[in-house]
Amino acid sequence: MVQLLADSQEDQDNETQQLLITAFENAMSSAGKLPGEDHQRLSTEYIKCLSKLPHEEVKMKDACESMLSLYPALTFPLEVLCMHFIQTGCCSGEAVQYFSKLLEMDSVSGPGHIGLGIKAFQDKKYQEAADNLTQGLKQTGSSIQAWYHLAQTQLKMHSYEECIVSCKKALKLSEGEVQWTKLLLRLKTKALVGSSGASCAEEAMDTLDQLSDTDDDPELLALKGSVYLQRGLIDQALQVATDLLSSHPNQPEAHALRGHIHITQEDYVRAEQSFQKAIEANPTSGEYYYCLGLVYWHMGEETRRDKTKAHTHLLKAAKLDAYLGAVFRYLGHYYRDIVQDKGRARGCYKKAFDLDRNDAESGAAAVDLSMELGDMESALAILRTVTEQASAGTAKWAWLRRGLYNLKMNQHSQAIADLQAALRADPKDSICWECLGEAYLNRRGFTAALKAFTKANELNPESIYSIFQIAAIKQILGKYKEAVTEYMQTIQKRDDYVPALKGLGECYLSMARRALKDYLDGRAVDYLEQAIESLFRAVQHRPDLSCLWKLLGDACTTVHTVSPSRGNVTVWGPLSQRNPTSQKQTLNKFEVLSLGGRCYGRALKLMPESANLWCDLGINYYRQAQHLMSEGKENETPELPEKSLQCLKKAVMLDSRNLLYWNVLGVVALCKGIENLALAQHSFIKSIQAEANNVSAWTNLGSLYLKNENIELAHEAFKVAQSLEPSYVNCWIGQALIAEAVGSYETMDLFRHTTELSIHTEGVKGYAHWVCSTLLDKTNRNSELYLYNIVQMNAITAAQVALSKYTERIRTDAAAFTMLGYLNEHLHLKKQAVEAYQRAVQLLQPTGGKEAVIFALRNYGRTLCTTGQYDQAIQAYTSTPVTELSDITGLALAFFKKGFLQESARAYEKALSVVTTEKEKAYILTALALLEHRQNKVDSAKTLLFKCSMLKEPSVESLQSLCALGLVNRDATLATAALNELLKRTDQKEGVHERCLLTCATFALQGNNVAVQRQASKAIHSNPGDPALWALLSRLVPQYHPRIAKGGAVAGRVACHFSMTQGKSALLYSGVNQLAAGMHSGEDQRSNSLKTIQRAALLSPEDPGVWASLMAACHTENTACYLSSAAPKRAGLEETFMKAISKKVKAEESHPVSYSQCLESWALRQALSGLKQAGQTSAAESLCTKVLGIQPEQPDVFLLLRQAQCEQLLQSHRQLPEAVLVELRKAVMSNYTSVSAWHWLAEVYRTQGLMVAAVMCYRQSLQMASQQGDFSGKLASLLRLALLALAPCMANVSSSEWKDLVQEATSEALKITFCPLAVLLQALLQFSIKMGARETRRLLERVVYQPGYPETVASVARWYLLRHLHAKHDDELIDALMDHARANADSRLEELHKQLCSSS
């Protein structure tokens, strides 16, 4: 019964509830043994029942106490009692006893902690209350009272965010309980107002809207005004405050609201009045005192200076409200900034931070003051606590300070991690990026540091530090030019920033040293000037820094490397010690070195015990002494070597363990003027003892032994140095000198290795000497040693490059300039060779020996002759005694080149008297023969060459000259005989190109055009690596075998690939071949004649032949456009090309006059052809008239004028008068050797119906072409003649002579070469004779289907073949032909097929 009644207790009335209580009491009294399980269970149910009945409080207490007495170990009755006290809000002594007793029995009991928490709250022990309530709610989270009291406690402690969270949880539990909801909403609104942020203000306004009595409650109205103020709605907030004050004038919240509004408006006087009224209304509010103190803190100039009133009110606020963290923050400000009491300030900041962990300003200040006071443990404890509790992207101040601390303690990796965490909180903090960059920099992570400082600079472009660090890092990375730019940017922002000026000077100095290493001395001097200027500006600002004076000394001393002629440096007046000091002065090399010494002296005054500075000063004195010795002025200041020695001894005394000082001391002890060999040896050994892996000291010791001719010890010392550092060039030079001294075959290899390692003056000169010595010995050209040392190792080029750098720096070495000139000659660098020999002559003439001067003049004259400076060459040769054979022949050659043929002949005859061998005699006879030929004495030249060939040792050149003489005079017999003799006597491996050229020319003279191409191909097959042969083949193909022009283009490309020297001309030949093959851009956009010739024009813009070829290529492109019915893209360029060709011809004097005239004539004809093709006949006529006006005696131009004038008459299709035909024939007769002129006249006769006259013109042109050996002209004449004769045949003229003429002409053409057009003409002749014959089909199908026939020819053959097949009604073959036409995109045949089908 009890169980049934208890299950429905909530729905029972009072009578039923009393019956239930009676039933429980009866059941308990009738229970068995006490205490017992049944009784315990019934007591538990009985208490639960009573706890649900508020009016049975007394019985419930009695029942709990009775149960406690019977069951003292049970916590249930205590929990019920505690929950009862919590719900009723009773915290009497009795309740506290129960709370304490419950916690004694169960230390984690929720009701016990909650009860004590509520009691602590009532006693204003807020921290204790918060701790107990928080602990209790972990066990009993459904207690609204507990959440409410926790929220109140958090509000009192100004923990607004926690208060909001507690209110939200309580509101979920209070659904349906209006009273609790109102209380919680009010509490939540206060917390939201206390929080900052727009989102909190919006939420506070929403919360106020949920309260129905907002407008009637002055406290809620004040909160509403505060929300308006937070949202920036000052007018609305002011209206609320005004209304509130009018309705409730003594309401403290209203005065406080008005005060906050005045603070926002910076009206501190009225704000003071408002907060004073608020304090009068509520004198226990610490917040009001804080606000008034804040007003005094910011109020007026006098109040800002004297913070006493602010301090008083802040102290009062702290006493009234010990949980208001902002009060302690401002007290910290007061003690730190006003009183200067860092200890008390730190305590206040720490208190503020303990109260509000979100107060970053207080936390940061507490940490900073702890570090200043040396209490690192406290600072780190705060930082550790914050960073451990912080979520990602928060607590930037703590991460930043911890990162800086770790950076200070050299814990770079941890510092980087901390600073990265700080940047997650604020990625746009430029200072934080700078700190991160500093951390990376200290960890030697230069790339990461550079990125960090670059980001900092992007965020704050005005920051000098970040730009400076960017420059410094780039300087460390060796990016000196970029670093200079950054340093300049820093100096522009602040011109007195000494670190940037110093860094700029260091960069320029490093760039100068790098330039000196590359032997760019002029550039190095420019950099040194800029370095000195930057460092001088820095010294002007900070003359007390010894490092700046040292750098100035370094910059000045670095000049010692360059030659005296380039060692002039411009410096500011105060440095030069000249008047006026306000202007810049130019110092010579010695003055600059002396300035460096003075700068080191200034640095030593600031740091007199610096061993490094004493060493630098000693080196400077040594460099000064070296310079004077090289100039021959060592007697001017003989004390310099001794000064240098004493400075270095001082450096050694100050730091005897420094290997560098001992090493330099040894070098100075060896120099001229001291030569203390014992001291030098002792110094080098001491340096080695200081550091065994001392490659420089070992090398210097080896040099000392080598100087004393102790080869073995020198070799051992150099060998140790090589083992220590194989890339150290000086020790290799020492070994090379030893090898040279003992006559080792490895000498040249060793010197070459030194130049491969680095450019060193001694190594360069040694290598150049051995290369030149090897080249002078002409008997070893085929030896394995020569092929390896000279050819395979590219020795000539390597030695020339190295020696060029050597002579740029050392301008007084005549031997070096002589060797350089010799190497330049081998590389065909003629102008450079002249300059080198000229310098050698200038150096030797004042002081050199007679033999040396003669030798230099001989070399100078020879190179002058090769560069066309014949007058100077003659002068150079006549300056010698002219008794040696080389001098005589050189002078004779100079006379010959100048045009003094008689003087040249006399010189060669004089040379004949001093020759010693028949080979020399053969050469001179050959030269005399050339002289005779130049004077048009052909027979005399032949006699001399025959005489030369009869010698026991005839020269190859004489046989070549004899063959060339036969070719020039078109004497095929002589040319062939000379060539046969040449082929017998020459080595097959030498002179391949010359031999091939002569052979091809001989075949061309004989009219054997196919053999010309075959001979070149045969030579290439034997010598595939010779680019000259490939270029020759590419040159010959378009002229003698145009059918394989595509192959000629390939040959030109191969020559380009093999050699850039040959490639310039070969590229042009390749383009001409593409022209001959008809390769235009319409067929291939990438590979065509225009593109190839354009590239040739870029490589050889001075060659007129290139521009003529480009003109032809443009004409080809325009012609292709006309054929495809497209607008030409390169029209109107004819006159431009003509002017360019004429200009290039005049500028290029090396070409023969005949070549230049022929090229200009061809350009004119090409221009006229282009103008006529474009329909600009009047422009063509005007161009001819213009040319004739300048040079009237030009028959070929006159003919072109007549052709242009006749063009319009021919286009009218009218019969020309006889007088006009006579004039035209006269014009052609004046150019009777022109094949194209006869072709044109034949075409005029054909248009006038004069077929016989046209045939005679073609026969005349054929005769001219045969006489001239013009392969193309001969073939063109035959084809034109055949085409002329074919016209009557196609018109069914019965005369057989036209048919015979066609057959004869085409047969002759096919004898010359395979000609597709000739085959087509034969097929058309057969078509005209008998269209339906089987032979007709056979000939036409041969043209159509066999490969090798151009599409234009095949297209015509398809046309006639289709007509033949239609006549035969052969549908199967017609279909095959149409398929073939479609495959070749022959649309014209499709149209013809349709017409034939429709007509049949």
Please write the tens of the pLDDT for every residue from 365-402. 888 888 888 888 888 888 888 888 888 888 888 888 88
Distance CA 909, CA 989 (A): 33
Looking at residues 51-64, what average pLDDT do you find?
60
Distance CA 60, CA 71 (A): 16
Helix (H) or strand (E) holding 584: strand 584-587
- Please determine, for residue 665, whether its predicted confidence score (pLDDT) is greater than 90: yes
* Integer CA distances (angstroms), 202 to 152, 199, 207, 214, 551, in order: 22, 5, 9, 16, 65
Distance CA 960, CA 964 (A): 6
- Please determine, for residue 1225, whether its predicted confidence score (pLDDT) is greater than 70: yes
Distance CA 87, CA 172 (A): 18
Given a contact cutoff of 8 angstroms between Cβ atoms, the answer to whether 1322 and 1306 are in contact is: yes
- Please determine, for residue 660, whether its predicted confidence score (pLDDT) is greater than 90: yes
pLDDT at site 87: 66
Distance CA 288, CA 257 (A): 10
* Integer CA distances (angstroms), 187 to 123, 141, 933, 1063, 1106, in order: 20, 19, 125, 94, 96
1340 compared with 1127, residue with greater pLDDT: 1340
pLDDT at site 4: 45
**pLDDT class of 579 with cuts at 50, 70, 90:** low
209 compared with 1072, residue with greater pLDDT: 1072
Percent of the chain with pLDDT over 90: 22
The token pair that represents 1374 in the structure block = 């017609």
Distance CA 1095, CA 49 (A): 110
With vertex at residue 234, the alpha carbon angle to CA 233 and CA 236, rounded to the nearest 5 degrees, is 70
Which tens digits make up the pLDDT trace of 906-939? 888 888 888 888 888 888 888 888 888 888 888 8
Distance CA 759, CA 766 (A): 12
- Please determine, for residue 821, whether its predicted confidence score (pLDDT) is greater than 60: yes
Burial label, 647 (beta-carbon count in 10 A; 0-12, 13-18, 19+): buried
Alpha-carbon dihedral angle through residues 310, 316, 320, 326, given to the nearest 10 degrees: 30
List the one residue out of 537, 529, 457, 446 whose CA is nearest residue 495.
537
The token pair that represents 1263 in the structure block = 């005769």
Residue 93: alpha-carbon gap to chain centroid? 85
List the one residue out of 70, 73, 76, 75 whose CA is nearest residue 35.
70
Count Cβ atoms below 10 Å from residue 885 Cβ, excluding itself: 17
240 compared with 629, residue with greater pLDDT: 629
Percent of the chain with pLDDT over 70: 88
**pLDDT class of 14 with cuts at 50, 70, 90:** low
pLDDT at site 63: 62
**pLDDT class of 667 with cuts at 50, 70, 90:** very high
Which tens digits make up the pLDDT trace of 1193-1211? 667 667 776 767 677 666 6
Least confident of 203-212, 436-445, 940-949: 203-212
1186 compared with 1134, residue with greater pLDDT: 1134
Q: Is residue 532 classed as helix, strand or coil in its secondary structure? A: helix
Least confident of 458-462, 546-550, 703-707, 1267-1271: 1267-1271
Distance CA 456, CA 429 (A): 8
Which tens digits make up the pLDDT trace of 191-205? 777 776 667 777 777
- Please determine, for residue 55, whether its predicted confidence score (pLDDT) is greater than 60: no
pLDDT at site 5: 44
Q: What backbone phi and psi angles, to 5 degrees, belong to 584? A: -75, 145
Alpha-carbon dihedral angle through residues 322, 326, 328, 333, given to the nearest 10 degrees: -170
Q: What backbone phi and psi angles, to 5 degrees, belong to 712? A: -65, -50
pLDDT at site 50: 57
- Please determine, for residue 72, whether its predicted confidence score (pLDDT) is greater than 50: yes
- Locate all alpha helices (DSSP H) within 1023-1152, ordered by sequence: 1027-1040, 1045-1058, 1060-1076, 1089-1099, 1104-1123, 1134-1147
**pLDDT class of 86 with cuts at 50, 70, 90:** low
Amino acid at the residue 1266? S
pLDDT at site 30: 56
Alpha-carbon dihedral angle through residues 770, 776, 782, 784, given to the nearest 10 degrees: -10
Burial label, 563 (beta-carbon count in 10 A; 0-12, 13-18, 19+): middle
Contacts of 1060 (CB under 8 A, 6+ apart): none
**Cis preceding-peptide flag for 35 (omega within 30 of 0):** yes
Ranges 92-106, 665-679, 1210-1224, 1328-1342, most confident: 665-679
Q: Is residue 569 classed as helix, strand or coil in its secondary structure? A: strand
Mean of pLDDT over the chain: 83
Distance CA 60, CA 728 (A): 104
Distance CA 932, CA 450 (A): 77
Q: Is residue 1234 classed as helix, strand or coil in its secondary structure? A: coil
- Please determine, for residue 3, whether its predicted confidence score (pLDDT) is greater than 50: yes
Helix (H) or strand (E) holding 715: helix 711-724
The maximal CA–CA distance of the chain, rounded, in angstroms, is: 167
Ranges 728-742, 1123-1137, 1348-1362, most confident: 728-742
Q: What is the DSSP letter of 390?
A: P
